[in-house]
Structure 1
Amino acid sequence: MSAASESVQSEEVLSELFNKLTVSTPEDVDAAAANISSFLNGSIIEHDVPYEFFQKLEASIKDKKSAVNALEAVAHIASEADLSPSVEPYIVSLIGTICGKAGDKSPEIRAASSKALDAIAKAVTPVAIKDVLKRLVDCLSATSKWQEKIAILSAISILVDTSKAQLALRMTELIPILSEAMWDTKVEVKNAATETMAKATSTIQNKDIEPFIPKLITSIANPNEVPETVHILGATTFVSEVTTAALSIMVPLLSRGLAERDTAIKRKAAVIIDNMCKLVDDPQVVAPFMAKLFPALKANFATIADPEARSVTDRALNTLRRVGAIPEDDSIPEVSTAGDVKVNYDILEFLIKEKNIPQRFEVVKSYIAAIAGDLIDERKIDPESWASAVSPFLTIFLHEKESKEIIEEFRKRSVDNIPQPPIFEDEDDEGEDLCNCEFSLAYGAKILLNKTQLRLKRARRYGLCGPNGAGKSTLMRAIANGQVEGFPTQDECRTVYVEHDIDGTHAETSVVEFVLQDGGVGTEADVRAKLLEFSFSEEMINMPIQSLSGGWKMKLALARAVLKNADILLLDEPTNHLDTVNVAWLVNYLKTCGITSIIVSHDSGFLDNVVQYIIHYEGFKLRKYKDSQNQVS
């Protein structure tokens, strides 16, 4: 049988099943809906979709006489264990129509609508959140029917469970609409919105503000509590990386705090902004909030009389300028559109324009664009993530071979839209370049750096900074092992990883023997002379390594590196296990030895004292700043 004949037969079967559904009694509707669901999720031929069926289904939902039966069918279809990709975009496209029935006068229709919305929320692919959530939020904004609002809030609450990571990135859109619902005149809506807000904010992975989230939610509903909440948070020490989700719940409070009459509250709001935004890793994290925070801080700086409060406000402004990549004219940078559904739809449309895709697949194309938008927002830029997420839907109307090629080109074009932070190459051009290369770095399947520049000069000291898990130590190891593309070879530039945590296999080895074992350090006389230069005594030179303190092990590691004629020293947490005396010695040595160093350290005071430039992980790039860590941390 030809594909066309099979398609006609499928349509005939569906039409017959649908007709049975529309005339089913309340006792029979469950079985009729189950039959439709089973057929839709199993028997649709390749490169076909039940387009006409869903048009009929939508019309039946709108018809008061058949609405309950049609909504039962939706719930059954969405509740299938293996919801077909050929069905999912079309069932999601019904959300607006279903929401419209959730406020119906008929309790049976309202109940069936809520059931259908909940089933869809449980079934959808998590990375399709941008399509699903927009439909729900648009309906929540537009409706005045309280029962409809509660049904939508229930579906959003379910999405927290099914799409937690993806929903966290949508908090900038979600929190304002939930806040508005919390001010609803209907107490049932208020309560449902507050519960949904509490559940949605559980997606915020920030240990610093988690204990205060209930208080933050309360302050949204009761603005009178803003001063007290700002006061409490003003005493908080922020150490966790700050994400868009964290700022989404904090900025409503902070913008209100900046507008308070009391200078003390304005000051504390500025302190919180300064402390939190220092922990922002990407200008695009703070970009959606700049329009609220930056002008308010500037206005306060211009009007606050208290010098100390003005100074704090100025510090917060400068932090926002830096982390938000604000240009010298103080114009607020635009929020990236790389993850916008429309942007990704246009890319997809361009790539498949010669394929003459029938109009009935328009819903699928929009769904794919939403998936791509989420992948961009999550910064999932590897080919595997795109193939697994996009292929099930693209192969609905394309053959697998051509879909692979299009997905990869789709990925590349979409990833290219991710804004790269401006290069702040504050380092002057004077001095000898040891390295000036562009490379990418991955750890397993995880991309850490993508086409980033690294430029190092002789006798300069660099601090390598970024959040935990960014890949700082991975980069250091990759440099040491010659795995960074374009980085000079050991013959061109001697790079030494300074190992001061010497493993137990060398415990009984004498100091001098340990250095000689490594090779390339000269004669024993050379080694002894260098160790004496590093303040080792003759007795210590012949002692086993296990008898050395942490400070002396660091000196030993540095002496060995110098004996290798190192051009670049790589130091990972060099102050671990060092007392203040040895830290001071290390600071002095690194500042006076004339050897280029790259240092990873959580000791901000040490970095402040040593480094001349910070190299910071931001948006899959390395961004360079002049001077010390207090400009980037």
Structure 2
Amino acid sequence: MSIQSVFQGGDAARTAASQIAEQVKSSPAGMNPADVAALSDALKEGSKGTAAAREGACIAIDTIASVAKTTAEHQLMPFVADLVRCCADKHSKEVQSAAAAATLTLAKTSSAYGLDAVLPSLLTAMDPKEKWQTMVGALNMVSKFAECSPLSTSFALNDIIPIVTQMVNDSKQEVSVAARECLSKICQSIDNRDVEPFIPALVSATIDHEEVIECVQKLASTTFVQTVTAAPLALIAPLLLLGFRVRSTATKRMCAVIINNMSKLVEDPEDAAPFLPKLVPALEKAKEEISDPEARTVCGKAFEQLQSIEERLKTHKSCKAVRGVVEKEVKVSFGLSDDKLEYVATLVCSLVNCKVMDDDDWADELKPYGVSEEGAKKAFKALAALYFADAVEEEEDDDAEQLCDCKFTLAYGSKVLLHNTKLKLKRGHKYGLLGGNDSGKTTLMRAIANEQVDGFPPASELRTVFVEADIIGELSDLPCVDYILADPRIKKAGITEEVVTRMLMSVGFGEMQNKAKTLVTFLSGGWRMKLALARAMCLDADILLMDEPTNHLDVMNVKWVEEYLLSLKNVTCIIVSHDTGLLDRVCNNIIAIDTLKLKQFRGNLTQYVEKNPKAKSFFELKSSTGFVMRFPQPGFIEGVKSKGKPLMKMAGCTYTYPVNSEPTVKDVTVQVSLASRVACVGPNGVGKSTMIKLLTGEVIPQEGTVWKHPNARVAYVAQHAFHHIEQHLDKTPNEYIRWRFQHGDDKEALVKDSMTLTDEEAKKCKEPVTFELKDDKGNVTKVKWCIEKLTGGRKTVKKEYEYEVQFVNMSYDSNRYVSATKLAKWGFEKHMKIVDEKVAQRVGAFSTPLTTVNVEKHLEDVGLDKEFGTHTRMSALSGGQKVKVVIAAAMWNMPHIVILDEPTNYLDRDSLGALAGAIQTYEGGVVMITHNNEFCSALCPETWLMQKEDDGIARCNCKGDAEWMTKKAKEQVKGAIKMDEVTDALGNIVEVKEQKKSRDKMSNKEKKKADKLRKAKLARGEELSDDEGWSD
């Protein structure tokens, strides 16, 4: 059948085209070149061809594409430019209909990667200068490609969306409708589960810019975990640029948040490259011009993220196919004719650009075009070496059993911690897990233990135990052996009490007075870790997940843990620790969390640092990022002018716990001043925490005395301080601190025995006391009244405190101020301590108003960024961040003495360096219990050594640098840091002006007058105020 027979048009053309299509289908070479040329001539309007010829040519192309499919595809696809122009044929509607049908058939039957071959022609046809029917034809063909070839369409969105977007509001309704339908369909090709729910809103906002703000709001609340490629960026980037143009600061901030979140998930910087020239200047402008400091900071972080992508681009090897390179390889591997070779080379370029990394997929895709499987795989191997080199994995020379090989993404709350990363573990290997605070170390191990990591073997195949020292509250009153037996996994495994007891003895519980029957609640941090290890040993785990296993442990117990871990030849361990010695001596592999990926390295920490110098911060006790932690400086204390004057003292104190027969500590004598820098050291369980409890008044010694200056404020960060904030995980750190101190004193102050009345003391306080009352004439009357309470009022009279008391069944007018000496005699000593504590707390609270802004600044000073301090609930914080919240809350009232029990636990080296810097510049006294010798030796010239003597009872020996201590003791007390301005509850910034005392300004005449008034008051028997009590 001759091709000329189709040029008659109508039914005759259809009949002839069907016969020609069958001939083409059976011919490996496809169409006759002369027939192809004839079709090309017939399609061109204004040539010799008539409307009937153009209609026939369109029908022939449509029919051949439907029947012969890929056989003649390389010959038919070049007709697309002519077909879309025929959609606007001015002589015949039949030509228009036939051309439109042919374009849709070609899109439907062509290769899934054929779009690249015709896209330039289609985009040219969308030019506003073209006829509207041509524009509609091109739009409809792109829509059909989006339906039939979504992958290749998604990778072309950056080219398509800007042009289609300009047409959605075209004055010609047909163009507008087609453009909107096309925009909707091409956006459906985006394969990103995070973005898919928002595609309708994104498309709608692209059409109607008034919806941009609402759309940005929705996107900003999304947690992105999927890899971000060019496709979602092509749709979202234009909307973000519109968002930066609106006046609303909140919208600009949200745009920056979206960019910050999405840019972290861009694996191939080339995907983001087309959008950087517009987004980077928009962010740079926003971070400079936005008035809100916090919003500027957010914009700055997003700007830094985009800059990091620009830096990666400088050294990035392009994965975009180079046409000349591909054609050369295709020509060698495929052996095709020249006309087919050019089209197949286009398909191969598309396969490369769409990142199809499977040689079987290449073979299946290219087989219909006459390419052998061997030729397709040969081309893949050659081109993969050029463009997919990063996907090639190194083979490990290790015959150990592989326990897992999985690829997963991990998020916590709204934060992505790990993205599309791989984890390989082998039996018997010891892995050190490195990463800064908030990088996801503990979350990863907890997710593994809870079977929440995709691809990780289930517990039925692999026994995995998470070892941590936290004690479940409701089980804390159980003996150690019963606590382990209460674990559901122990019950399920059928482990007996005998086995549990033997394990407890093997980790040292035989040394304790009550051995395995010791109550869990009385265990120190070190013994709690041993308890957790004993439980893990009972479960015979394949993998031990260990979170800071040497926290709270002394040197001997650290060595025991190391030896125990090294003895586990068939057990794999993943260890998170800030103990560099442990990571060096135990670990033979390192897993580092870096840019949302797990980077695995064979060797210990020292070897890892040799290859990665940036990791040197794990050896150094300083902040590698320049982060500085600042503590608020304490104010003056009345009567304390030198730093060496004691603020807290213990003398000859002995204490025995109710369940023990022997004292835990005996004959302890220590003192603390503003100059103190004390490290309290000693083996686990020797009584260090007990001594601190005595010093703070939490418990009362059976022998000896404890004293604290009534105006001294003391901050105590306990070893298990998390229990405070665990009750408020639904609050942000800022909300928690404002709740805790909203009434001036600390709601979560420890209940101290030194301030709790015994039954005998309470009974004595109810007894009536004798008062002497003077009437106007000076007559004295003795009365017996019962004191109901101390109201909280306190003043100084003749260098002694007097406290306001309220009497039973008496009005407020009857209240009297009574001296501390009399109240102590009547049994109200503990009542006075409570008042002293509250007065001291209120003095600290007066210095800085409890406002959101001030608390935010305070949290930033201890290392908690606004994003986490003000905008993130504590349930979403890491262990290191929670420690910072605890420290910030303890320091809010500007204490004079800070007592830290194991402060280094859960803090990374960077935060430890910042904490050390804060302690060095702090003007108050510091006492710390720690097993981190590097930390305490760098800060504390004075040591309290707690150790058991021959009788098995612990005593304290004080050692120190005498010269340093003498020098410090002579230093004068410095006041709190001068504040130039504070922010009140309404957000107003109030300038603080220094005010000199009035007595410094008084002239001699004023002084004589004041002295005369003072003497007159004394003669009348009236009390003088504190200011009037000053002598010249």
TM-score bin (small chain): 0.5 to 0.7
The answer to which structure has the higher helix fraction is 1
Question: Is 1:114 aligned with 2:118?
Answer: no
Q: Indicate how the Cα distance of structure 1 residues 90 and 370 shifts in structure 2: closer, same or farther if over 3 A, else same.
A: same
Give the match for residue 35 of structure 1: 19
SS at match of 2:126: helix
Residues 530, 61 of structure 1: alpha-carbon distance in 2 compared, 3 angstrom cutoff: farther
Aligned partners of 1:570, 1:370: CA distance in 2, in Å? 48
Q: CA deviation at 1:345?
A: 4.3
Displacement after TM superposition at 1:115 (Å): 0.6
Q: CA deviation at 1:371?
A: 1.5
Partner of residue 89, structure 1: 74
The secondary structure found in structure 2 opposite 1:127 is coil
Q: Give how far 1:411 is off.
A: 2.4
Q: Shift of the alpha carbon at 1:94?
A: 0.8
* Corresponding position of 2:331: 352
Q: Aligned to 1:279, what secondary structure does the other structure show?
A: coil
Q: Distance in 2 between matches of 1:255 and 1:57?
A: 46
TM-score scaled by length of structure 2: 0.43
Measured in 1, the distance between the counterparts of 2:146 and 2:121 equals 16
Counterpart of 1:418 (choices 387, 401, 414) is 387
Q: Once the 2 structures are TM-superposed, how far is the Cα of residue 176 of structure 1 from its aligned partner?
A: 1.0
**Within 2, Cα distance between the matches of 1:615 and 1:134?**
37
- Equivalent residue letter for 1:318: E
Task: Encode CA deviations 1:276-304: one digit per residue, 9 max, x unaligned.
Answer: 22222332232221122112212322333
Q: Give the aligned partner of residue 320 of structure 2.
A: 339
In structure 2, distance between residues paired with 1:52 and 1:300: 61
Q: 1:561/1:298 Cα in 2 relative to 1: closer, same or farther (>3 Å)?
A: same
Q: Which amino acid aligns with 2:424?
A: M
1:564 and 2:568 matched:
yes
CA distance in 1 between partners of 2:532 and 2:409 (Å) = 41
In the other structure, the counterpart of 2:628 is none
Q: Which residue of 1 aligns with 2:178?
A: 192
Q: Does the C-alpha gap of structure 1 residues 538 and 591 become closer, same or farther in structure 2, counting only changes over 3 Å?
A: closer
Match of 2:460 in 1: 503
Determine whether 1:404 maps to 2:383: no
Given that residues 7 and 55 in structure 2 are in contact (C-alpha distance below 8 angstroms), is that contact kept between their aligned partners in structure 1? no
Q: Partner amino acid for 2:148?
A: T
Give the corresponding residue for 2:33. Answer: 51
Alpha-carbon distance in 1 for matches of 2:290, 2:157: 32
The letter for the 2-side match of 1:38 is E
Question: What per-residue deviation string (whole Å, max 9, x for no partner) do you get for residues 183-240 of structure 1?
Answer: 3221111111111111211122334333332332233223343334334433333344
Cα distance per residue 1:349-385 (max 9 Å; x no partner): 3663799976xx33x2232222212222232223222
Equivalent residue letter for 1:564: L
Rate the CA distance shift 1:268–1:599 in 2: closer, same or farther, 3 A. Answer: farther
The whole-number CA distance in structure 2 between the counterparts of 1:142 and 1:52 is 35
Q: 2:202 aligns with which of 187, 198, 216?
A: 216
Structure 1 counterpart of 2:355, from 373, 379, 391: 379
Contact (CA 8 Å) 1:183, 1:221: kept in 2 or not? yes
Indicate the larger mover: 119-128 or 166-175. Answer: 166-175
Partner of 1:492: none
- Structure 2 Cα separation of the partners of residues 210 and 471 of structure 1: 19
| 2:392 aligned to which of 450, 459, 468 | 450
Show the 5 A alignment for 1:120-519.
120-141=106-127, 144-322=130-308, 324-326=309-311, 333=314, 338-340=319-321, 343-349=322-328, 352=331, 361-362=338-339, 364-393=340-369, 395=371, 400=372, 404-405=374-375, 407-418=376-387, 449-451=391-393, 467=409, 472=421, 475-477=423-425, 479-480=426-427, 502-503=459-460, 508=493, 510=495
In the TM superposition, what whole-angstrom CA distance separates every residue of 1:95-144 from its partner, at most 9, and x where no partner exists?
01111101111211110100100111110110222213333223223752
CA positional deviation for 1:36: 1.0
1:161 Cα offset (Å): 1.8
Instruction: Give 1:503's aligned amino acid.
Output: S
Cα distance, 1:419–1:388 mapped onto 2, change above 3 Å: closer
CA distance in structure 2 between the aligned counterparts of 1:294 and 1:207, rounded to whole angstroms: 26
Give me the whole-angstrom Cα distance separating, in 2, the residues matched to 1:171 and 1:271.
23
2:204 alignment partner, SS class = helix
Alpha-carbon distance in 2 for matches of 1:212, 1:148: 31
- Distance (whole Å) between structure 2 residues aligned to residue 304 and residue 538 of structure 1: 53
SS in 1 for 2:392: strand
Match of 1:99 in 2: 84
Report if aligned partners of 1:58, 1:94 keep a CA contact under 8 Å in 2. yes
Q: Rate the CA distance shift 1:325–1:590 in 2: closer, same or farther, 3 A.
A: farther
Between the aligned partners of 1:88 and 1:37, the Cα distance in structure 2 is 12
| Contact 1:226 1:253 (8 Å CA) reproduced | yes
Other-structure match for 2:701: none
Give structure 2 stretches of 5+ with no counterpart: 398-405, 411-417, 430-444, 450-457, 464-491, 510-526, 551-560, 600-610, 619-864, 866-1032
Q: Tell me, what secondary structure is at the counterpart of 1:384? A: helix
Task: Indicate how the Cα distance of structure 1 residues 539 and 270 shifts in structure 2: closer, same or farther if over 3 A, else same.
Answer: closer
CA distance in 2, matches of 1:165, 1:256: 27
Secondary structure in structure 1 of the residue aligned to 2:179: helix
TM (norm. structure 1) is: 0.67
1: CA distance between counterparts of 2:40 and 2:118? 17
**2: CA distance, partners of 1:558 / 1:509:** 29
- CA distance in 1 between partners of 2:123 and 2:16 (Å): 31
Q: What secondary structure sits across from 2:228 in the alignment?
A: coil
Task: Show CA shifts across 1:415-456 (max 9, x none).
Answer: 3443878xxxxxxxxxxxxxxxxxxxxxxxxxxx4146999x
Residue of structure 2 equivalent to 1:79 = 66
SS of the aligned residue for 1:192 comes to: helix
Q: Is the 8 A contact 2:183 2:203 kept in 1?
A: yes
C-alpha deviation, 1:589, in angstroms: 8.6
Alignment of 1:567-606 (within 5 A): 569-570=573-574, 594=584, 595-596=586-587
Q: Are the aligned partners of 1:510 and 1:545 in contact in 2 as well (CA < 8 Å)?
A: no
Contact 1:466 1:617 in 2 (8 A): no
Deviation at 1:389, TM superposition (A): 2.2
Is the contact made by 1:278 and 1:319 (CA closer than 8 Å) also made in structure 2? yes
Contact 2:155 2:231 in 1 (8 A): yes
1:164 positional shift:
1.5
**Distance in 2 of aligned mates of 1:231 and 1:79:** 46
User: Is this contact kept in 2: 1:274–1:319, CA < 8 A?
Assistant: yes
| Structure 1, unpaired ranges of 5+ | 1-15, 422-448, 456-463, 483-496, 516-524, 572-585, 601-610
Q: Does the aligned pair in 2 maintain the 1:391–1:404 contact within 8 Å?
A: no
Change (3 A) 1:49 1:39: closer
More deviation, 126-135/270-279: 126-135
Q: In 2, distance between residues paired with 1:200 and 1:91?
A: 24
Counterpart position of 1:20? 5
Structure exhibiting the larger radius of gyration computed from Cα positions: 2
1:175 deviates by 0.9
TM-superposed CA distance for 1:537, in Å, is: 9.1
Change in 2 beyond 3 A, CA 1:614/1:73:
closer
Change (3 A) 1:337 1:512: farther
The question of whether the paired residues in 2 share the 8 Å contact of 1:150 and 1:192 is answered with yes
Instruction: Give the Cα–Cα distance (whole angstroms) in 2 for the partners of residues 339 and 368 of structure 1.
Output: 17
Counterpart-to-counterpart distance in 2, 1:311 and 1:154: 45
Distance in 2 (alpha carbons) for counterparts of 1:347 and 1:376: 9
Rate the CA distance shift 1:53–1:587 in 2: closer, same or farther, 3 A. same
Amino acid at match of 1:347: V
Whether the 8 Å contact between 2:227 and 2:419 is mirrored in structure 1 is no
Tell me, in whole angstroms, the C-alpha distance in 2 between the residues paired with 1:88 and 1:338. 27
Query: Which one-letter code corresponds to 2:13 in the other structure?
Result: V
How many residue pairs match? The answer is: 501
